[in-house]
Amino acid sequence: MRAAFLPLAISLAAPTVAVAMPSSPDLGKAEGKCRADESGPAFLVTVSGLKDRVGRLKLEVYPATRQDFLADDNVLLETGKVFRRVEEIVPTGDPVRMCIRVPQPGPYALSLLHDRDMDRKFKWTVDGIGFSANPRLGWGKPDAASVVTRAGGGLTPVTIVLNYRSGLGVAPLKQRPQS
């Protein structure tokens, strides 16, 4: 696999558009949270390749377009575009699954952050990152077309493999053979 260098970290951490409204970690949470007694389109994400059981997982849904994928959440919401977020402490047991609702069936782009130090920012030397469709990570953020996942009318299962620092880039952890 190709490795991602610092530009991936910079492109994921630096906003591309200045906005007047300050960002809030609660944006998109009310719309994203799955509820036991509710039906409708949602992704049931199985998290694969966790490095450890510390920190927080942050799952986000974006429009599956080049200009909107990983765009500032304030800008997306102000312009009426889809943005959803679910956060939870990393569970101690397996399987690790997260559920996130979407407004209707169709194409979306998902990102998953393993925020190991819980600072709400991606640091490529500390945290893990993954995307729907599990693209190879290169020198920057993946193209929206490489992460598109279609939601059906109910729960749509998706597996996201996390990538962590590996040398000067990021890659999935190497699996140790079981004895």
Residue 6 has pLDDT above 60, yes or no: no
pLDDT for residue 175: 67
**Residue 33 is assigned to a structural domain of this protein:** yes
Domain that holds residue 129: 6-18+27-168
**Residue 175 is assigned to a structural domain of this protein:** no
**Residue 1 is assigned to a structural domain of this protein:** no
Structure confidence by residue, pLDDT tens digits, 34-49: 988 888 999 999 999 9
**Residue 12 is assigned to a structural domain of this protein:** yes
Mean residue pLDDT of the chain comes to 86
What is the rounded average pLDDT of the residues 163-169?
Answer: 87
**Residue 66 is assigned to a structural domain of this protein:** yes
Task: Give the start-end residues of each E strand in 4-162.
Answer: 42-48, 56-63, 84-89, 97-101, 106-115, 128-131, 148-151, 155-161
Q: In the chain, what percentage of residues exceed pLDDT 90?
A: 65
Count how many domains the chain has.
1
**Residue 90 is assigned to a structural domain of this protein:** yes
* pLDDT level of residue 5 (50, 70, 90 thresholds): very low
